[in-house]
Every structure is written in structure tokens, then in C-alpha cells.
Amino acid sequence: MSTLFPTLFSPVRLGGLEIRNRVFSTGHMTSMLTDGLPNADFVAYHEARAAGGAGLIITESAAVHATSSAYNMQVFDDRCVPALERVAAAVRAHGCRLFGQLGHGGRESHSTKDGAAPVSYGPSQDHTERFHVASRALPTALVADIVRGYGEAAARYLAAGYDGVEIMASHALLPAQFLNPRVNRRTDAYGGSLANRMRFLREAIASVRDRVGRDLVLGVRISMDEMNHEGLVPEETLEVCQALDADGAIDFIDVIAGSMTGLAGAVHVVPPMNVDPGYLAPVAGRLRALVETPVLVAGRINQPHVAEAILRAGQADMCGMTRAQICDPEMASKAAADQVDDIRACIGCNQACIGHMQAGYPISCIQHPETGRERRYGRRGRAEPSRRVLVVGGGPAGMKAAAVAAERGHRVTLVERERELGGQVRLARALPGRAEFGGLVTNLAREMSRAGVTVRLGVEATRALVDAERVEAVVLATGARVRVPAIEGAESAHVVDAWQVIEDRVNVGARVVVADWRCDWVGMGVAEKLARAGCHVRLAVNGYVPGQTIQQYVRDRWVGDLHRLGVEIIPYARLHGVDEDTVYLQHTASGEPMLCEGVDTLVAATGTAPCTTLETALEGFDGQLLLAGDCLSPRTCEEAVLEGLRAGLAVGDPRAQAYPV
């Protein structure tokens, strides 16, 4: 029993089922499916979290009826049962309980496997904002067919060995669409009064109970606040939940926020780092004070002390810690053993988890690239023989390479020319709302310490140093430097680069243009920093939207912040030239000129170029040479850490190449 988190690691009962602790992984899409069914990667992914100590895993929402294309996973025919059986066997073997989600997207069904738009069905004919869908009102006969689908899908989960199911009435999906009087404008038995608007959800619950009785735990997930234009608000959802509690047909209520319908609400589906940890606990606590049914809550609960505080305050009975376990599958086991310093904390960047899923790739984590790649990188053996290794560069790539190589038994020294570890992460964490990004450095430094890496700061690596160390392998992770291209007229203007602004090394005038070539966090962060300092800021992006290359929930919330701060956004803008008070842009599609007049300072956020000086100097080195991160090609922290992992594994492998393909 944990002495630091006694409540979190006490058992809890949902229905007739005892769960070993109060940590659960919420249902989330993984993109680890083959033909709509869980594949071997899906099994390995969830098994890693079960082995890591989670009390409960809820697998991703699956379509209960063919009219829903909002989900890739399908449970509307019996072919799903063997695949689900493999998941259940793997998860339950570790003492972890397993639930499945029952879903229907309703009017938010917007795509099919071949790219054609499906017919989307909702309670009423409607036009949605985010996916721009014109939905069709569900005929009554089809409503009844979908209701039957919930019960039939639950029976398949039972046959596969699952312990429970959860009906998705969250995120403005079909049951929530029926509940919302601004969406449900029906005049039949499913519309109008609260009782009528609840009829669909109650019938779905009854359908499940009719098919599986009390053999499965049954709960409902609901967005207590959809946080969106015309979305459900807490006063409405609290009334719904009290009615469900009085019915006595469900075993838990799983509280979340957000909506799939609009950009403002979608941010809360997977809230980024500038949303407070555990921010939904107060509304969950309001519900828990009103009902007898156990209440679960999620939403940026990324550390065990946050979960413990929520539970002790009586705001919930279990805490969803999904990204915490994506980032560290052993988070629960480490917390249970009070090994808090060893927990790799999620920083809420959204880059490789929801970001991968939305791009159609298996989810992962920028800090723990083994996630989603468990079958490839989940186990790594000791290296024979042990080699002397020098890692050059203390950014994410070098830190990960050093930690992994040392963990495998190599004798590793890392040298960094600065007096502090972190590389460009030190820049990212200095921007407004991005301080948590610095956790990546803390986590990687702890990995190095545990593995026994020798770290030498303030050391410039040269060929002479490499030769003097008599190492057998060198990992170059020397990063990148600022790239400022030739800008016509720059000699007559005040031009600075983004790094100088972030580090407060230059004075900036009152009227600023930020030329953002990469469309990532740098341009947006600098624009926000300067706007908060009182500058008039125009953000000219070489793309169709600021943050085009970063995850959309992070981008959309940030764009909203910039709008509130009065930042003027100029899309499709290529930097062409500058003079003493004008920045000259060119429209990237039309080629026509665009002028920004009355400018005091141009901030060039124009990317980086790889640092290759030592690479050139090491020509003829007779040991193993490996490269990782921005010195190969400037990209993001995700690629840096992944390549650091691969470099750490490649030390001593004669097949490994310095320049991966």
C-alpha cells in the first residue's frame, strides 16, 4: 500500500466488481486496428498498461451500429469477438479489469474507409460546425434498430470476457444529441420534455441490461459541460445524471467535458498543457454530492498527487489518467511503490498521442516512443560487450540516446557545451503557458541518472576530445542553430530572430511583424509573448493557419488566445523583404504582394539549420558513429527522442547506419 497515495491505491467497487485501485485508462482511439478490429499492437499496448498497475482499462469507443462511422472500431457483428477475446486475455492476466465503450457518433459521423462522405443521422436534421455535416433526422424505426445495437454489442463484450461496458453519452455524440434541446428538435416521443429527450439513452441502457443482465458492469460517460456553442451545460447534465441515478440501472457515471461539434469544445476532448491539471474535479464533485452512483472523472489528471487530492476531497471515486499512462505505462506501479521521482510525467503536448491518431497513425508519446511500438521496443536486452560511448549534445535526442545505451550496459558519458541540459526545450518552456514542456528535460535527466550516465556540462566537444576519450562509439546529437535567410533590405531595418526574443536578448519595438515560416509553436509563442508585453503584433504565417504543423487542439486553443490578445493573423504569407518601417510579404498562392506598414521590428521565426561542425571533423573516425535529432534534420522533439532511442539501441550493432533511411 502506498504511503503517499493511500486513497488512490485502495480498492473500489463498481456494481458487483472489485477493482484493485482507482487508476483507470479512459477509452481513447489508438489507430491500432485492422479492418475495424483490435490487432496485435492494440493488445500489446493495453497489456503494457495492465502490467504497469492500472486498476481498470476502458478500450476505445466502438460503433454499435453500421450507421456510425465516427469510430474505426466496430462491435456491430460477431466477427469482433475473437479479437476482443485476445485483448481480454492479455489485460486480465495482470489483474486489471477491462471495460469496452459503446458508441454512436450520430450527426458527427463524417467519413468512411474509402473517403466518401456517409449519410449522417442525428435526432433532427441539422448542419454541424466542425465537420460541416448536413445530417438527416433518424426515422423512428432506425432509432429502435440502433437501440438494439447497444444491447447486442454489450453481449459481444461479455462473450469476449470483458468485465463491463460504458455507453458514450459524452462529447456531443448521439445520446448527447438526443439530450440537448438545442440539437434535438423532434416532436415525437424522443423530443421535447426532458423525459422524452432521455428516452433514447434510457432505452440503450435497458437494451444492455436486457441482453447481459448484471453480468457486466454498466456505466455512462457524459460531458458535464460541452464547453461549446449551443452545447450542454452543467445545469442540464446534472439533471440528467440525477435522473439516471434515480433509475438505478447503471453502476457508474464517468465525467468528462467537451464536444466533437465545434473547435472550442473539441479542445476539451484532450485538453492541452495550458489547461489546469484536474480542472474537471469541481464539477464532478458537484455531481458526486447529488447521486449515490459512483463517479469517475478524467481531464488532465497527469500526476498521482493530483488524483489523490481529488479522491480525498470526495470529488470522485476513480481518476482517469490516460495520457499519464501513455507517457509512462508503469505510472501506477511506480506511484503505488512511492517511487514518484521515477514517474515520467505527461506534459500535455498532445503531439504523438491524439496528434498521431488524428493523422491516422498509431498513438505514441514524444517522451516515451516505446508507446504504440511495444512489440518492437518494449523489451531491450543487455549489450554484449559493453562499450565506451560518448554522446555529444544534451538536448532530447542526446539525453534519450545516453539513457538507453547506459540502461543496456554501455559506459556512457554525455557532454553538453551549455551549462544546462535541454537544448531547444529550454526555449519552449520559456513561452507563456508552455512551462510544463520543461518536464521533458526533468524526465529525461532522471532516466539518465537511473541508468548511470556521466554528464559533463559546459564542455565543447571537438575531434581532440573524442580522440582523448578513446571511445568506441559516438552519438552526435548536436542539434540545430537559428536559420535567418537573406532578407532584402535587412540592413536598413530592425530585424531580430525568434530565439533572441524568447531569451530576452534584444529590445523589440511597439509594432511588430512575426514572420513564421514553420507554422509551429515558435511563431505563435513569440506572438503571444510580445502581445502580452503590450506590442501590436501581426503574425504572418507561411501556411493557411498559425500552428498548421502542430496538433489541432493545441493550435485551436492558442489561436483563440491570440485573437483575444489582438494579434492580427496574416495567412499565406512568404517573407520577401523589409525596410525601415515596412515588411514586404508575398501571397504564397497568388504571388501578389502584401505590405505591413508602420513596423518597428521584424521577428524572423524562419526555422533552424543542423549543426554539423563536429560531424565533419569526425571524418575518418574508426569507431561507430550515430546521429540523432536536429543535427540530422531539424524537426521536433518527437523525432529527436525517437531517434535517440534508436541510437541508444544501435550502439554496438554493426548493421546500424549513421544516416538512417
Q: CA–CA separation, 299 vs 171, rounded Å?
A: 13
pLDDT the model gives residue 658:
83
Cell of 170: 459524452
pLDDT above 80 (res 71): no
- For residue 485, CA distances in Å to 482, 527, 607 come to 10, 20, 9
Q: CA–CA separation, 477 vs 467, rounded Å?
A: 18
Q: Is 650 helix (H, G, I), strand (E, B) or coil?
A: helix
Identify whether the C-beta of residue 525 lies closer than 8 Å to the C-beta of residue 431: yes
Q: Between 661 and 371, name the one with better pLDDT.
A: 371
Helices 396-407, 439-451: axis angle to 10 degrees equals: 20
**Residue 157 burial by Cβ neighbours in a 10 Å radius (0-12, 13-18, 19+):** buried
pLDDT above 70 (res 193): yes
> pLDDT for 41-69, tens place per residue?
999 999 999 999 999 999 999 999 999 97
Q: CA–CA separation, 222 vs 227, rounded Å?
A: 13
Confidence of residue 380 (pLDDT cuts 50, 70, 90): confident
Q: CA–CA separation, 445 vs 174, rounded Å?
A: 45
Q: CA–CA separation, 357 vs 362, rounded Å?
A: 6
> pLDDT for 415-464, tens place per residue?
999 999 999 999 999 999 999 999 999 999 999 999 999 999 999 999 99
Beta-ladder partners of 411: 388
> pLDDT for 244-260, tens place per residue?
999 999 999 999 999 99
Q: CA–CA separation, 167 vs 102, rounded Å?
A: 5
pLDDT the model gives residue 446:
97
pLDDT the model gives residue 349:
97
**Residue 133 CB contacts under 8 Å (≥ 6 apart), including other chains:** 107, 108, 109, 110, 117, 120, 127
Mean pLDDT of 602-613: 97
Query: Which range is least confidently modeled, 270-274, 380-384, 472-476?
Result: 380-384
Q: Is the peptide bond before 385 cis (omega within 30 degrees of 0)?
A: yes
Cell of 563: 485573437
Contacts 24+ apart (CB under 8 A), 617-621: 617/462, 617/463, 618/463, 618/466, 618/474, 618/476, 621/463, 621/466, 621/474
- Closest among 155, 296, 294, 150 to 216, alpha carbons compared: 155
- Closest among 144, 390, 141, 107 to 230, alpha carbons compared: 107
**Strands (DSSP E) along 158-273, which ranges?**
164-169, 217-225, 252-257
Pair type for strands 23-25 and 318-320? parallel
Mean pLDDT of 224-237: 97
Q: CA–CA separation, 586 vs 537, rounded Å?
A: 18
pLDDT the model gives residue 530:
98
Q: CA–CA separation, 143 vs 123, rounded Å?
A: 9
Cβ of 600: how many Cβ atoms within 10 Å?
A: 17
Q: In degrees rounded to 5, what are phi and psi of residue 224?
A: -65, -30
The mean pLDDT value of the chain amounts to 96
Amino acid letter at 640? A
Cell of 456: 559533463
> pLDDT for 313-353, tens place per residue?
999 999 999 999 999 999 999 999 999 999 999 999 999 99
Q: What is the largest CA-CA distance in the chain?
A: 84
Beta-ladder partners of 473: 389, 624
Mean pLDDT of 129-143: 94
- Closest among 589, 596, 594, 555 to 572, alpha carbons compared: 589
pLDDT the model gives residue 168:
98
- The helix or strand, by DSSP H or E, that contains position 476, with its residue range, turns out to be strand 473-476
Cell of 587: 501571397
pLDDT the model gives residue 117:
86
Mean pLDDT of 203-213: 98
Q: Is 85 helix (H, G, I), strand (E, B) or coil?
A: helix
Confidence of residue 112 (pLDDT cuts 50, 70, 90): confident
Q: CA–CA separation, 525 vs 494, rounded Å?
A: 20
> pLDDT for 627-646, tens place per residue?
999 999 999 999 999 999 99
- Closest among 377, 381, 388, 379 to 410, alpha carbons compared: 388
pTM above 0.85, yes or no: yes
Query: Which range is least confidently modeled, 109-118, 268-277, 379-388?
Result: 109-118
- For residue 64, CA distances in Å to 102, 183, 606, 657 come to 6, 22, 48, 47
Cell of 343: 514517474
> pLDDT for 18-34, tens place per residue?
999 999 999 999 999 99
Cell of 87: 485483448
Cell of 253: 457515471
What sign results for the dihedral spanned by CA atoms 253, 256, 257, 262?
negative
> pLDDT for 519-572, tens place per residue?
999 999 999 999 999 999 999 999 999 999 999 999 999 999 999 999 999 999
- The helix or strand, by DSSP H or E, that contains position 465, with its residue range, turns out to be helix 463-469
- In order, the DSSP letters of 585-603 are EEETTT--EEEEES-SEEE
Identify whether the C-beta of residue 112 lies closer than 8 Å to the C-beta of residue 123: no
pLDDT the model gives residue 81:
98
What sign results for the dihedral spanned by CA atoms 64, 69, 70, 75?
positive
Percent helix / strand / coil, the chain, rounded to 5: 35, 20, 45
Mean pLDDT of 228-248: 97
pLDDT the model gives residue 70:
63
Mean pLDDT of 300-304: 97
Identify whether the C-beta of residue 224 lies closer than 8 Å to the C-beta of residue 287: yes
Mean pLDDT of 91-113: 92
Cβ of 191: how many Cβ atoms within 10 Å?
A: 18
pLDDT above 90 (res 180): yes
Instruction: Residue count of the chain, please give it.
Output: 661
Domains observed in the chain: 12-375 (3.20.20.70), 380-482+610-650 (3.40.50.720), 490-606 (3.50.50.60)
Cell 537511473 sits on residue: 450
CA 582 to chain centre: 40
Q: In degrees rounded to 5, what are phi and psi of residue 30?
A: -110, -20
- Closest among 631, 344, 286 to 481, alpha carbons compared: 631
- The helix or strand, by DSSP H or E, that contains position 13, with its residue range, turns out to be strand 12-14
